[in-house]
Amino acid sequence: MTQDELKLAVAQAAIAYVVEGEIVGVGTGSTANFFIDELAKIKHKVKAAVASSEATAERLRGHGITVLDLNDVSSMPVYIDGADEITPHGAMIKGGGAALTREKIVASVAEKFICIADGSKLVEMLGKFPLPVEVIPMSHAVVARKLNAIGGEARLRLKDGKPLLTDNGNMILDVHGLQIADPVTLEAEINNIVGVVTVGLFARHGANVCLLGTPEGVKTLTF
């Protein structure tokens, strides 16, 4: 099976976790896009969606799905999103799509985080995928120095030769070369650096369920 076929399989499996008549939180990225397209097939069964990025909101609206502002939502049963890496304990690196802050905020409101990923995303130790850190623009140099002191190599994410800006107007530092043995502790340490908005470690509050796409079918991991 191709990677896209695996992503489609987990997106289809995730539909079973959507609660009829309720609001669903929706993530950002290629796997989340497959889920959005599947969600469109049952849009009459969901009340609305909360999007973790402008791109996701646009795709949802394009399918005729109502998108609510998170400030107007007090609770939701599930948040469904992909991951760049996930461990057997449910800790994740997210932010390859530059939506880590909004993803973490929306996920914090949901009762359950359902991670949908192809099998290549399952790792024993996080860090091979560069760790995204969203930072206030004026702080990117000083934050980079502090991240380098932790043991990684922080690089400013660029797009078309210029610093990429998130939906929040901030920049992203991608930290290369980490081996994250204790993601919970590192998440707290990086979040405490002045100038950091959010680190793309989802470890203190990781996934509750991971639907993992494999050639043998979709495997369900529960944490």
CB crowding 195-204: b at 16 or more within 10 Å, else e: bbbbbbbbbe
β pairing state of 110-118 and 76-81: parallel
Give residue for tokens 């976790």. Answer: 17
Half-sphere exposure of 26 (CA within 13 A, CB side): 37
Q: Are strands 209-214 and 110-118 parallel, antiparallel or unpaired?
A: parallel
Distances (CA, A) of 120 to 45, 85, 148, 197: 32, 8, 27, 28
Contact 140, 193 (CB under 8 A): no
Residue 145: CB partners within 8 Å, gap ≥ 6? none
User: Which of the following is catalytic: 5, 38, 54, 103?
Assistant: 103
d(C-alpha 101, C-alpha 132), whole Å: 10
Q: Is 20 a catalytic residue?
A: no
Q: What is the DSSP letter of 204?
A: T
Could you list the active site residues?
A: 103
